[in-house]
Structure 1
Amino acid sequence: MAPSLIRSPVQLPPAEALTLSQQAPAILQSSPSTVSSSALSSLFSAAEKPELWIQYENLILSCLRTGDDRAAQECLNRLVARFGNNDRVMALGGLIKEAQAQNNGELETILKEYDQMLEQNNANLPIMKRRIALLRSMGRLSDAGSALVQLLDFSPTDSEAWSELSDLYFSQGLYPQAIYAMEEVLILAPNAWNVRNATVKQSKPYANGSSQVHARLGELQYMAATASGVINGSYQKQMAEAIKRFSRSIELCDDYLRGYYGLKLVTKRLLKDNTKPAGKVDDEDFTLPDSSTIERLNELATAKLAEIVRHSSAQDRGWKGYDAAEVAAARELLSEDAPSGIER
């Protein structure tokens, strides 16, 4: 089944993004090149469908990924003709310019244009976000981080910005800050089904946003625990939190591969280290479960991962949509437990 143009294509695999971009000529040809914004004109023409403009936005993203700059520009022209140069359309125009830039000099020019736009309107959130993305792509992580903090001072409830800040901290090895920022995402959108997370790919179409955020928190906790290689109170606390987060992610989504993968990884490490649970530091701390519980969690994760890998590899009905790289990683993790010469 071809992916829908109504859904954002940012997390689609390249093949599916190409499928979407190939629809651009037919959609552009079958749609009017201009649509009047006049209320009077709308009385004498067919009803305007809002889905058309969503399709144009998503086509721009897919066409830029596949190098079809011409179709992307035509979609932008139609958005400009309908809505003018509003904040959202300006950001899409900047995205196209970034994709067409040939060198850092051209990117610096685009960055200056963003600065000029923000001088005229410092509340232009889409341009602020494009500027941050451009700074990061140019390797200016410190500037990108400062710009993100400024954005969050202005809009502290922006879960997407908190997620981006978490990923930025993670890329610099600042695990406590990355965990704090991702916890803000969870606070702002505890039950979201559509949290856009720059650091997390959906491994199945119906994995909800909260599952992804809990799993990402578990990953950050695990990396924070194992970064130093020292087993101490901080290690136990972080690993206990990782177990809690991964368990919550699979509670929210029964077949969430990343959740089971993380749970398998954490419990396997704890069993290998033969870590004994320590007492609580305070009532709010979540302590490690006992060894028998950890073994049961490991067995559960192993069985579920094996089931996902088996059904997904066979393309069984109801098991399609998993990311191929994630399935391969799960298969490799399972193979580490298999006896020599036996493949799961």
Structure 2
Amino acid sequence: MAPSALQPPTRLTPTAALALSQQAPAILRRSVSTAYPPPLNKLLSGSETSDKWLQYENLIQSCLRTGDDQAAHACLKRLTVRFGDHNERVQALRGLVKEAEARNNGELEEVLKEYNQILSGNGTNIPITKRRIALLRSMGRLSDATSALVQLLDFSPTDAEAWSELSAIYLSQGLYPQAIYAMEEVLVLAPNAWNIHARLGELQYMAATAPGVANGSSQQYMAEAIRRFSRSIELCDDYLRGYYGLKLVTRKLLSEGAKAAKQTEDSELTLPDTNTIERLNELATAKLSDIVRHSASHDRGWRGYSEAEIAAARDLLGEDRSPTTR
């Protein structure tokens, strides 16, 4: 199935992004009348939907990703004519195009100056604020990006995307407690998001296995990882990433002979007993085996997994010295 221009471009594989960018000329030809400014566009272009403009936004990102700058500019022009030069989303997309076309750090600095100038006149411009943060991070200025994110979250504390970005920046610097804290804030805003539960489990696992971590802290991190992965698959029964994480954690605990710690006043969560860990490991192994087998056979209802995820699950199962006997 051909990719849709309404799909989030960040979720597209390189092949799908290329296929989508190749559709841009045809999409632009079909909607040529949208180039009229308002109110003429309403008279000459017929009905207007939000999907049309979302399609242009997504096409810009896919075209930039595949090097089709001409089509990206054509989409940006349509959005500019429709919504105006000072529209915040249009300003952010224009900045994205300039970032993609920048040939060196000097040109990126010029884009950054433009962002600063826009924000000096309107400090509440969230799209430009986020583009500035993304640019700072891409330039390796992590301290500045972190400060800008903290300021954004002071202004907009319910921005889950900003909390997630802050967690990623902390993680890139090996600051696991801070990364976990920021991701927990995402979970507060989306308590039933199984992917966030699994992501938090991954952070807990990385913190537990980091060099120099104390044994007591490691056990608490591992216990929390089990809890998060278990919750993710409780919310989504076929979530591969949740089962993968649960398998990874329980296998490590069993290989190290970890035992449940006694409950203390300073510890709210401890490891389950060995029997429970073994049962969780068997559950994860069986489910991953089913997912890999059905996906390889292209069975209906089992086709939503990426090839990379299936390959990783297959490798993890292959490393198991005592595979499940069926």
Q: TM-score scaled by structure 2?
A: 0.94
- Structure of higher RCO (CA pairs closer than 8 Å, 6+ residues apart): 1
Q: CA deviation at 1:317?
A: 2.2
Distance 1:130 1:327, change over 3 A: same
1:59-208 to structure 2, matched below 5 A, reads 59-85=59-85, 86-191=87-192
Give distance in 1, aligned partners of 2:302 and 2:38. 45
- Structure 1 outlier segments of 4+, above 4 Å: none
Give distance in 1, aligned partners of 2:205 and 2:41. 59
Query: Which stretch of structure 1 is more off in the superposition, 284-293 or 128-137?
Result: 284-293
Letter in 1 for 2:181: Y
Q: Deviations over 1:142-182 (max 9, x none)?
A: 11111111111111111000000000000000000000000
Give distance in 2, aligned partners of 1:230 and 1:135. 31
Q: Deviations over 1:112-170 (max 9, x none)?
A: 11111111111111011001000111111111111111111111111000000000000
Query: Which stretch of structure 1 is more off in the superposition, 314-323 or 251-260?
Result: 314-323
SS of residue paired to 2:272: coil
SS of residue paired to 1:10: helix
1:266-285 to structure 2, matched below 5 A, reads 266-282=249-265, 285=268
Q: TM-score scaled by structure 1?
A: 0.89
Q: CA deviation at 1:49?
A: 2.3
SS of residue paired to 2:4: coil
In 1, are the aligned partners of 2:164 and 2:183 still within 8 Å (CA)? Answer: yes
Q: CA deviation at 1:315?
A: 2.4
Q: Deviations over 1:320-343 (max 9, x none)?
A: 231222211111111111479xxx
Give distance in 1, aligned partners of 2:155 and 2:210. 33
1:1-344 to structure 2, matched below 5 A, reads 1-31=1-31, 32-38=33-39, 42=42, 46-85=46-85, 86-191=87-192, 210-228=193-211, 232-282=215-265, 285-338=268-321
Letter in 1 for 2:109: E
Q: CA deviation at 1:42?
A: 2.9
Structure 1 residues without counterparts, runs of 5 or longer: 192-209
Distance 1:241 1:319, change over 3 A: same
Give distance in 2, aligned partners of 1:338 and 1:17. 39
> Paired residues, what number?
323
SS of residue paired to 1:95: helix
Q: Alignment RMSD, CA only? A: 2.0
Give distance in 2, aligned partners of 1:307 and 1:82. 50
Percent identity between the aligned chains?
69
Give distance in 1, aligned partners of 2:297 and 2:286. 17
Structure 2 residues without counterparts, runs of 5 or longer: none
